[in-house]
Structure 1
Amino acid sequence: MRVTIRGWGLLVVAAVLLGVGFRFGYPELAALGGAGLAAFAAAVVFVAWRPRLAVQRAAEPDRVTRGEASHLRLRIGNASRLFGASVVARDRVGPLGGRRATTPVPLVRLRPGRATDVSYEVPTARRGVVEAGPLEITRRDPLGLVGVVRRYGSTVRVWVRPRVHLIAAVPVGLSRSMDGRVERVPHGSITFAALREYVVGDDLRRVHWRTSARVGELMVRENVDTSLPRIVVLLDDRAGAHGRDAAGESTFEAACEAAASILVAAVQADVHVELALVSGVATGGGGASGLAALGPMLDLLAEAVLAGDAGGRDAEALKEIVQGLRLRRLGDTLIVLTGPPDDEEMGLVASLKGAYPSIIVGVFGAVESGLGAVAGLLVVGATDGADFAAAWDGVRAW
């Protein structure tokens, strides 16, 4: 509850009138002071009443590409059977974890037991996760002495994914499957990849008993067929690795658009693809395939934010992820997407050529657009996502 300036003024004047009236024997002044205090008390009682509102919200759709339309629909009902509610409503909308603005919600007087539906457009001009809610209801007394803001309902999130630019083809690895398609679940071959928890249906012959005894749970060996095409997209999310383009936007946005374009093209070509961030977050679709595998990776791109200090490139983070990629070979084609190139870091990426026969580096910013070679790597230079797609299609064959 918040007392307005008018309310504080009334309290001060009422107190002065009461004091003067009783001190000097002026009953009229004392009556005016008492009336002022009574008006303030009535205002407090008026705003203390809490409307019984039920708020339901839904975003349609809750996952969009940057710039696409998304609407938030609110259903606000007055659960009281006796009293109507005259309120001013605002919804809090903005990026997750950032500063959120308030959006006015056109709300008419709510009759007892009735509900009203309102909607407004969610801002999708920038990539990220937009959070809306809870609904803020402001209630003031008729004299404007006291006001209170209450929150109703939960929050809802809208994933604004990067733009996708169509590209013609993706690397197909060292060889394709014999039947011309890529197996969607490449288990059962003789190449060890990792250990994971046992799930119902796993072959008990693949249980790793020594590890199971140590951790207390059944662990099975995860094997993959390294002859199948497998792409790993490494997105550089270090703040120091990115700069600003001509429009003043971070080159990280262009890198996210390039990553989304590659992921979509790979899924359409039935090529297994995984997404990893230099900060350590990674996803391969959670074991799903096709469009089901694509969704979690695009969500990760929507959630990705720059990490670290913009004043330094944080070389240790890159060294750590490179070491992890070397120890756990995830595929045969590695695609690194970063900001303006750095010779030392290019050499560090080139050290992975023994584990990844094909390495492609996409660099963004004030660079020369097109294809080039640095430290034995194929480098695709671009100013933005659309420029990257055009340069990518300039590769004659994968």
Structure 2
Amino acid sequence: MTGATAAVPSRPVAVSAAGWSVLAAAVIGLALGVALGWTELLVVGLTAALLVLVAALFLVGRSSGGLAVSVLERQVVAGGTATVVVRVTGDGRGRQRARDAELPVGDRVESVRLPAVAAGETREVQLRVPAGRRGVVQLGPVTLVRRDPFGFARRESARSGRALLYVHPPTAALTVATSGLLRDLEGIATTDLTDSDIAFHALRPYVAGDDRRHIHWRSTAKTGAFLVRQFEQTRRSHLIVLQSLAAADYASDDEFELAVSAVGSIGARAIADGTTLSVFAGAPRTRGEAGRLRSRGRRELLDDLSGIHELPAATPVAGLARTVAQQAPDASLVFVVCGSTVPARRLRAAAANFAPGVEVVAVVTRPESPPTLVRIEALRIMRIGYLDDLVRGLARAVGA
């Protein structure tokens, strides 16, 4: 996916070490040749000055036309390839010759040969860019480069805006619907009683302040005393997924990446099922507010997951769970995702922050380890070594 930003100003002329040496030879040779009357030094100085002048002529000139950068794919999964498009548009000043340009792609720079275009013509150059790891990669600005043939200097002119490439984490297609994992499904009555809902429970005597619309007149006529309807409260299912960003909760970068993929897989399935979903990641951004990710659509969620990273000072998993429990007291099922350095006692402490009756599933990642699923009271601890283990583990968790 792309997101263009404003163009940046041009960088000044960059002179190489060889360019500075030739310039110094010109100045020193001419100065000493004139002062000392040495013909040899004058020849050296004049030759160097002529080279500097010729090199400077290659850098002179105004860059015209328009450049833009974009990405064809709206989503790219880590390990895949993105197609970056550089669009060249000619202005109304005649035909523009082919030019050399550079396109920054994250930490590296790709060389681009821009085609010649006529006045008003638009042509495109496509580049295949490998998307190795999950992340948000900045593309651009496209920079026109003028060089001299001697390698003395180069002039750069940034002529486009920037774009963002979101490299999504790999996800697994879960075979278990989130509704099968939820204890309180939409419309299912709980044992909590209320005076206004849809699941009828019983009749009780009228007390001052009761809504008269709930008076059961037929029973009132039979008994001679006012009776009102009482209902069982129904609860809307709310799935919570929270991931720790604390570096201390992971033994390696691979554990963290597997955890991100697990969060994306669970969240994507919940969105597809239409389940009410909240996803939290990392330390509170402000006091008392955990980092809530967008979860209205699959692409939005994966975009946000592309940009999260381990943080040395992030709140550990138990503290994050406490903050999330305060923000989402209506949770039905909670997934706590972390690495292998978090012991079971800390997972139990994290689960204890949620209300009684809320199912908590801890997904602990440890690459290449055998999968396990254990239950400790209301807490289920699922350890996975591969993303496919999550698929099988959730299928078992339904009956655990």
The TM-score with structure 2 as length reference comes to: 0.74
User: Is 2:251 aligned against 1:243?
Assistant: yes
Identity percentage of aligned residues: 19
1:175 — aligned with what?
A: 185
| Alignment CA distance shift 1:27-1:371 (3 Å) | closer
Q: Take 1:78 and 1:239, find their aligned partners in 2: how far apart are those partners? A: 50
| Structure 2 residue matching 1:158: 3-state secondary structure | strand
C-alpha contact 1:92 1:132 (8 A) present in aligned 2: yes
Q: Take 2:104 and 2:279, find their aligned partners in 1: how far apart are those partners? A: 32
Deviations 1:103-141 (A, max 9, x none): 122334566665542111232221111221111222112
User: Is 2:70 aligned against 1:58?
Assistant: yes
Residue 254 of structure 1 is aligned with which of 245, 254, 258? 258
Unmatched runs of 5 consecutive residues or more in structure 2 = 1-12, 189-195, 199-232, 284-289
Q: Take 1:373 and 1:104, find their aligned partners in 2: how far apart are those partners? A: 55
2:332 — aligned with what?
A: 332
Unmatched runs of 5 consecutive residues or more in structure 1 = 95-99, 179-187, 191-224
Q: Take 2:248 and 2:390, find their aligned partners in 1: how far apart are those partners? A: 21
Residue 43 of structure 1 is aligned with which of 40, 49, 55? 55
Q: Take 2:327 and 2:264, find their aligned partners in 1: how far apart are those partners? A: 26
| Structure 1 residue matching 2:380: 3-state secondary structure | strand
User: Is 2:79 aligned against 1:77?
Assistant: no
Q: Take 1:162 and 1:101, find their aligned partners in 2: how far apart are those partners? A: 21
* Equivalent residues in 2 for 1:209-220, closer than 5 Å: none
User: Is 2:297 aligned against 1:274?
Assistant: no
1:360 — aligned with what?
A: 361
1:350 — aligned with what?
A: 351
| Alignment CA distance shift 1:24-1:302 (3 Å) | closer
Deviations 1:51-92 (A, max 9, x none): 124111221113223334421111123437257445422211
| Structure 2 residue matching 1:395: 3-state secondary structure | helix
* Equivalent residues in 2 for 1:267-346, closer than 5 Å: 267-279=271-283, 280-283=290-293, 285=295, 288=296, 293-308=297-312, 314-315=315-316, 318-326=318-326, 328-340=328-340, 341-346=342-347
| Structure 1 residue matching 2:397: 3-state secondary structure | coil
| Alignment CA distance shift 1:113-1:45 (3 Å) | farther
1:184 — aligned with what?
A: none
2:219 — aligned with what?
A: none
1:8 — aligned with what?
A: 20
Q: Take 1:139 and 1:327, find their aligned partners in 2: how far apart are those partners? A: 56
Q: Take 2:57 and 2:310, find their aligned partners in 1: how far apart are those partners? A: 49
2:374 — aligned with what?
A: 372
Deviations 1:125-184 (A, max 9, x none): 211112211112221123433222222201111212222212222223313337xxxxxx
> 1:265 deviation in Å?
1.8
C-alpha contact 1:346 1:374 (8 A) present in aligned 2: no
Q: Take 1:256 and 1:347, find their aligned partners in 2: how far apart are those partners? A: 21
> 1:375 deviation in Å?
5.9
C-alpha contact 2:144 2:158 (8 A) present in aligned 1: yes
Q: Take 1:110 and 1:329, find their aligned partners in 2: how far apart are those partners? A: 61
User: Is 2:33 aligned against 1:33?
Assistant: no
1:135 — aligned with what?
A: 142
The TM-score with structure 1 as length reference comes to: 0.74
Residue 234 of structure 1 is aligned with which of 238, 242, 248? 242
Greater C-alpha radius of gyration: 2
Q: Take 1:385 and 1:25, find their aligned partners in 2: how far apart are those partners? A: 80
| Alignment CA distance shift 1:172-1:236 (3 Å) | same
CA RMSD of aligned residues (A): 3.1
Q: Take 2:20 and 2:117, find their aligned partners in 1: how far apart are those partners? A: 30
C-alpha contact 1:258 1:385 (8 A) present in aligned 2: yes
Q: Take 2:185 and 2:257, find their aligned partners in 1: how far apart are those partners? A: 33
Q: Take 2:78 and 2:371, find their aligned partners in 1: how far apart are those partners? A: 24
| Alignment CA distance shift 1:18-1:65 (3 Å) | closer
